[in-house]
Structure 1
Amino acid sequence: MDILTFLLIMISFTVGDLSTIICPLNETEWNVRSKTKVCQGKDDYHCLVMEDGKTREEKCIERTLIMNGNCPIFTNDYYLHWRTCNKTGCPSIPYRSDEVYNFPVCFEIESEENNLHWSQQSRSKDDAFALKIGLPLGLIPAVLVISIVVILIIKKRRQTLKCLSGFRRNDDDDDDANDVPELRKLVKKPEYISIAVDHLKTKKIIYVIGQLGNSVSTSGKKITKIYAKRHQMSDHYYNYLDISQKFSEHCPEKVFKRKTVNFIDGWGGLWNENPCERKRTLDILVQVAEQSKSLDNTKFVFGLRTEIHERLKDELLKQEIRISEYERVLLDNSSIYKRKKVVEEINLLQNSCSDGGCGCKSLTFERVSEIDQVPIGTFLVVKLMSLDHKMIPDFLRRNIGPLKAVQNLFEGLMEDQTWPWLPYFVCLGYHDNKEFKQEIASEFDISEDMLSEPEKVAKYTKMLDKDKLAPMWSERFDLEKPKKDETREVRVFWHNFLYICAFHACYKKYPKQMIQFCNLDAILQLVRPMSHPDPLAIIACEKDIDLFCEERLKNLADDSVFKEHPLVLDWRKRKE
């Protein structure tokens, strides 16, 4: 490591805001740094440039496949995205986002445009030789510069600590004074995150409530991680299905450990609510809420979809569980922070488009906020628009909206053979290139060789370790339980709303095959009879409902967990 690298690292560590983060430039350094971050669950260590191109950040986030010619970045809301690379040294092959250290050009920020790869070049033998020659000549001015920097560091550190002391609201946060860079990052967090962290000190549970795509999981994990760090506790992330069986078999003390902050989401369903899960969801919510009172030094953060919370809140009240304003974070509410993030995403969308007549040029926060045909977050709406700018006029039409617009996009991808195997992908919920299910593929006239061009669909998908796939409710019946013990990666949609839109597209073209062969959870969550409309679900005809209940469920239609599903209710009513 040369003097320049050492000085920049020390300045960054000591002051925090005088220099940006320096990302690891090889596998060894990357692995060492990742161990200090202790990422959990599905998340892996990443060091990436922010979308403004001015700073770098380190975060724990799910890795994904990045196609050649692109560099991974963090969006302003800390989603993993990518942008085209047009410089020397750009990636020439597909790679995982946590292997970006192989392409130092992807770490370049605006302030380093004139000395790209300085940190990589500093490791070369030529630089080492140049340093031996230049060091004596530059020693005197270097000493003067270092002296000035030290003075500035001391002065700046005092100012930083003074400002940060005003940020703390309680004396028990003083332990954070030794972690200035981390606190500097926390100050940047939206106000609702800071408020929720404060309220968690006196509350056992904080409920993070929001629409699909309104950062429920992201916000819940931030609250969990920040609180755990401040109070020297461990943080853990769960899907409610992961703990459902354990909670049934054990007392809560054996499920949740002491000195932990536990974030639990996935309540009710992965893509939409599964009515079959409603009772179990309520039971687990009530049990954890009630029994958490006796769990010493254990905190909880629940991530709930808005519509699921609305359907359960009356039942929770009957159980005398009242969620006060101090125990909830409502992500659907308008705020300055939310407006700022959406406006930034709109600007990014517009700046990346060279077509002066494109519909993106007329987008404003107000116009995007009026899109309400389906219950999804405004930020997600703008991200979806970036997939294909030709969809934007349809997004804005009252009779179409986001779901129909993206559905039309997927229908086109099937029609022009860009993605002919989309129905196969949707039926399974993922694609494993080491596993080919002939019995499903043959129903859609799909051959194995059609699945060999993933780069065409990379913008809609990401790579995920198979053992990190979200659990399925139907696994309890051992109907279609995927093998999740393998460590290899599989392809999934990068957002659940994309799966919903793709399901609609495939169901429209192949209703009978989808009813018979699509994963059971998708049918239960995304198909309804005419008598039970749902903004995210398809309305099935009576013939398809009969096929599902009589052939797919067979004897299970009489099972107590299925009998209250709208599809079964409709079928039974017509058969009586």
Structure 2
Amino acid sequence: MPIYTCRPDGSVDTCPVTKNAWETRAKLMKDECDFERVYHCLSDGKGRKWEKCIQKTLILEGNCPMYTSDGYLDWKPCNISDLSCPKSSYVSNEVYKYPWCFGDNTPRNVTIEDGPHYVRDGPSLSLIIGIVAPIVLLVLAAAFICLIIGIRRKRRLEISRRIISNMSEEVHFLKDNIGAISGREFVRKGVHQLLKQNVFCIVVIGGIGNMVNSTARDILELYAMQKQWESKQYQFPDIPTTIDENTIVFVYGWFGLWNDDFCSLDAAKTVCDNLLRILKNTKNVKIIIGMRDDLYTMYKKELKEHSPLFHHEMILDVENLSDEYLYYFDEQKQYCRIPGCRCNEITHAMLKGGGDELIGMPLKVEVISKHHFSDVIDSYIKDNDILKAMKVHFTALEKNENPIYEWLMYICLKGHFSRTDSFDKDLVSKMNFGIHLSSFDEQYVHLRKYIRVWVSDPQHISMEDACYIFWHPFIYICAFHYLYEKDRSIVMNYCNLDAIWQLVRPSAFIKSNTLSSYIEVSADDDEVELFRKRWQKLGLQNDYKYHPLVSVQYAKKNG
């Protein structure tokens, strides 16, 4: 009698609970998996078991991975006091070590013959049952309702906390395989600093794509776990005026999520004042600041009055980490099974010395690995430039996958997508797009390779209010560049203002050989004038009077 049955739809009777059994099942599904998606056998919300190939992720202690109704990976908490509940963090495709996570793992095709039935006669027993049973049922129903309410509340909190953990600049899809040694060392040093009694704030500094925010986030979570504190993440400049005791805070996105907007120095001083006031008035609060290295150098002197926040710098020297990513990439190229893929032709020299040398190696490897398409690979071999390669990919999407392309450009123009926001039919019409609100769900299985979920406050927000953004700010920048090169007037007229302030510069202002020049686009007089009409109509000239797009107008006006 078989104890393991696999059906064509991927459902199974049981999940393997030993390493050998797990690896055996993984080998049988190797044709469906690849280097990015690996074998998983998990339960869903109804206790059913499914085999799928998905990206593995780190599961925190006291939690079990599971499939959602949409087939995506989710978490469910378990009782940490239970011996079979995971006592430490682990990778999702090692869940076989914790059979509790599978729930009832008994094969469906194993049946037990019905035993003899015993019947007791007597009206007294029936009378007792008739009286007692309704009372017992009412008590059980009330207890069950309370339990469900508690579980749902805890569940919403767990989901929100998990989503907020991804609100960082870098989302490392390859994190479980690469950067382990160097990454852990950075995190260990950061936690060690914060554990010192006289250290209240550290600054994590590094270039774009060099794991600044993901490293800061890992420090945040590890410190919170060790101290049993709450952890909070806030995007600049939206910082609360008060923080509870026993809380560690991470502040990211300084001066602009995508790039410097040139007009946030006053906001930065206000945020710094607020953080210093919190440290002075609240016991047991620690702060982590994550900042791009060139912006930190530019504004450090301007923030000297707030120097207590910047005494303890943690500069990410990613040379060793870059080597780990390179060697991992070499290893993964050997497993590429895409017919005609030329990824083996990408060399270390290309990745280190191309036109994209200002972009961190961790990000470059992740982009090529996650968007492992022939157009991306071929373009990178030709130009050694990850920004150009992604623009070539958007060209292919527009030609061959138009609904996906239109949704990505819609999200680029709006800055994000949320079901609670009004769907901009006017913008869709002006862009001649064919998308509609319901088509987002239809295309999400493909869109999720480019976007992720973001929420502003995991403690006080419903999942319905979550919005979708590009999985990394750099991917947004690539989409912005593509759309700007395609039609500058559309961007200057309809794109969200934050992106224009942060990424568009007058032609004369663009400086060569800087990170900013690599991710910025150039506007001639016609585009500047086009945008002037827009910001004047909105009355923003005073708020952004020092921005090059505005100051160039004043310079011309005054001769």
1:237 maps to a residue whose letter is Q
CA distance in 1, matches of 2:537, 2:335: 54
Q: How many aligned positions are there? A: 419
2:287 maps to 300
Deviation string 1:336-361 (CA, Å, 9 cap, x unpaired) is x4522442244224422445x64421
Q: Describe the shift of the 1:125–1:401 C-alpha distance in structure 2 as closer, same or farther (beyond 3 A).
A: closer
CA distance in 1, matches of 2:301, 2:382: 35
1:274 maps to 261
Equivalent residues of 1:465, 1:488 under 8 A apart: no
CA distance in 1, matches of 2:235, 2:464: 19
The more displaced of 506-515 and 486-495 is 486-495
Q: Describe the shift of the 1:291–1:492 C-alpha distance in structure 2 as closer, same or farther (beyond 3 A).
A: closer
Match of 2:450 among 461, 467, 481: 461
How far 1:552 sits from its partner (Å)? 3.6
2:521 maps to 538
CA distance in 2, matches of 1:397, 1:297: 53
1:313 maps to a residue whose letter is K
Match of 1:211 among 187, 207, 212: 207
2:235 maps to 239
Equivalent residues of 1:461, 1:493 under 8 A apart: yes
Q: Secondary structure at the match of 1:553?
A: helix
How far 1:50 sits from its partner (Å)? 11
Query: Is 1:573 paired with 2:552?
Result: no
Deviation string 1:307-340 (CA, Å, 9 cap, x unpaired) is 221211232346555845xx222225312x4522
1:511 maps to a residue whose letter is R
Aligned pairs for 1:92-131 (under 5 A) are 94-98=70-74, 122-124=105-107
1:401 maps to 385
The more displaced of 263-272 and 490-499 is 490-499
Match of 2:249 among 262, 266, 278: 262
* TM-score (structure 1 length as normaliser): 0.62
Q: Percent identity?
A: 23
CA distance in 2, matches of 1:429, 1:499: 9
Match of 1:513 among 490, 514, 519: 490
Aligned pairs for 1:456-535 (under 5 A) are 457-458=446-447, 460-464=449-453, 487=464, 490-533=467-510, 534-535=517-518
Equivalent residues of 1:374, 1:403 under 8 A apart: no
How far 1:123 sits from its partner (Å)? 2.8
How far 1:535 sits from its partner (Å)? 2.1
1:454 maps to a residue whose letter is Q
Q: Describe the shift of the 1:54–1:206 C-alpha distance in structure 2 as closer, same or farther (beyond 3 A).
A: farther
Query: Is 1:334 paired with 2:310?
Result: no
1:427 maps to 413
Q: Describe the shift of the 1:485–1:108 C-alpha distance in structure 2 as closer, same or farther (beyond 3 A).
A: closer
The more displaced of 211-220 and 533-542 is 211-220
Q: Secondary structure at the match of 1:564?
A: coil
CA distance in 1, matches of 2:338, 2:288: 43
The more displaced of 460-469 and 442-451 is 460-469
Equivalent residues of 1:269, 1:525 under 8 A apart: yes
Q: Secondary structure at the match of 2:318?
A: coil
2:368 maps to 385
1:73 maps to 56
1:85 maps to none
Give the greater-gyration-radius structure (CA).
Answer: 2
1:439 maps to 426
CA distance in 2, matches of 1:507, 1:500: 10
CA distance in 1, matches of 2:41, 2:362: 22
How far 1:519 sits from its partner (Å)? 0.9
How far 1:279 sits from its partner (Å)? 2.9
Aligned pairs for 1:350-389 (under 5 A) are 350-355=334-339, 358-365=341-348, 367-371=350-354, 373=356, 375-386=358-369, 387=371, 388-389=373-374
CA distance in 2, matches of 1:100, 1:230: 21
How far 1:117 sits from its partner (Å)? 13
1:195 maps to a residue whose letter is K
Q: Secondary structure at the match of 1:301?
A: strand
How far 1:213 sits from its partner (Å)? 2.5
2:221 maps to a residue whose letter is K
Q: Secondary structure at the match of 1:351?
A: coil
2:209 maps to a residue whose letter is G
Q: Secondary structure at the match of 1:98?
A: strand
Q: Secondary structure at the match of 2:394?
A: helix
Higher helix share: 1
Equivalent residues of 1:464, 1:490 under 8 A apart: yes
Equivalent residues of 1:462, 1:492 under 8 A apart: yes
Equivalent residues of 2:213, 2:252 under 8 A apart: yes
1:38 maps to none
Equivalent residues of 2:56, 2:93 under 8 A apart: no
Q: Describe the shift of the 1:362–1:328 C-alpha distance in structure 2 as closer, same or farther (beyond 3 A).
A: farther
1:224 maps to a residue whose letter is L
The more displaced of 523-532 and 186-195 is 186-195
1:575 maps to a residue whose letter is K
2:544 maps to 562
Q: Describe the shift of the 1:122–1:373 C-alpha distance in structure 2 as closer, same or farther (beyond 3 A).
A: closer
CA distance in 2, matches of 1:353, 1:50: 9
Deviation string 1:203-224 (CA, Å, 9 cap, x unpaired) is 1111111223222222112111
CA distance in 2, matches of 1:410, 1:51: 21
Deviation string 1:110-168 (CA, Å, 9 cap, x unpaired) is 999xxx999577334655859xxxxxxxxxxxxxxxxxxxxxxxxxxxxxxxxxxxxxx
